[in-house]
């Protein structure tokens, strides 16, 4: 059980869908260092049973992924999480699915019919099927929702991720000797070009 938790970075306990506070703490002590998609498919934070959410938020060793689309997590909660974690512990993720980039409409994706609108992808019962969030939109959203600067927000996509993965000696910064994997943004923080190993692979 614990070994599976460490490999995945997610606490799952036998007998119920998500870990209790005590189980989550045990997983962290065993080596888990990342919590994915904070709040998604997790029991709510409760003052008597903090659960997985409380355990990962309070432990400074944990880096936490958050879908900052304003749909999976309310804007005010994104702001609270930013205030609690800051750039060193928050990692923006998209949870993007195959509907990303598709115009509004009804699509059959995998085994499900998914209705796509301007900001969400939902199943027939209204449940979020995933996200259609792009990473540059997540960056803009964090700046807007949390009121932070671009310089403060950027590590949530770059150096914090590299440190988590143990590759911060060659990725996560623009510096001599680092891999030249870069994303060029315009003044509106939208993607203009991407480079891998110094080679331009995409450009508007």
Positions annotated as catalytic residues are 95
CA 34, CA 18: separation in Å to the nearest integer? 15
Residues in the chain: 204
Instruction: Return the SS3 of 69.
Output: coil
In what helix (H) or strand (E) does residue 84 lie, and over which residues does it extend? Answer: helix 75-85
Q: How far apart are CA 89 and CA 22, in angstroms?
A: 21
Q: How far, CA to CA in Å, does 158 sit from each of 28, 41, 86, 108?
A: 23, 26, 14, 34
CB contact set of 17 (below 8 Å; sequence gap of 6+): 41
């Amino acid at each position: 059980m614990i070994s599976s938790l460490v490999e995945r970075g997610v606490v799952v306990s036998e007998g119920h869908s998500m870990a209790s506070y005590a189980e989550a703490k045990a997983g962290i002590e065993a080596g888990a260092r990342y919590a994915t998609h904070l709040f998604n498919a997790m029991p709510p934070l409760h003052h008597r049973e903090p659960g997985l959410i409380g355990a990962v938020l309070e432990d400074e060793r944990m880096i936490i992924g958050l879908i900052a689309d304003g749909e999976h997590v309310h804007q005010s909660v994104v702001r609270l999480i930013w205030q609690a974690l800051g750039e060193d512990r928050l990692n923006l993720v998209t949870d993007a699915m195959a509907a990303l980039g598709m115009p509004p409409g009804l699509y059959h994706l995998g085994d499900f019919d998914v209705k796509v609108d301007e900001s969400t992808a939902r199943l027939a019962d209204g449940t979020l099927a995933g996200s259609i969030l792009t990473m540059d939109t997540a960056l803009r959203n964090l700046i807007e929702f949390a009121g932070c600067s671009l310089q403060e927000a950027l590590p949530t996509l770059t150096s914090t991720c590299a440190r988590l993965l143990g590759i911060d000696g060659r990725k996560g910064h623009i510096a001599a000797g680092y891999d030249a994997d870069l994303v060029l943004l315009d003044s509106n923080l939208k993607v203009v070009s991407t480079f891998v190993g110094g080679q331009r692979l995409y450009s508007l």
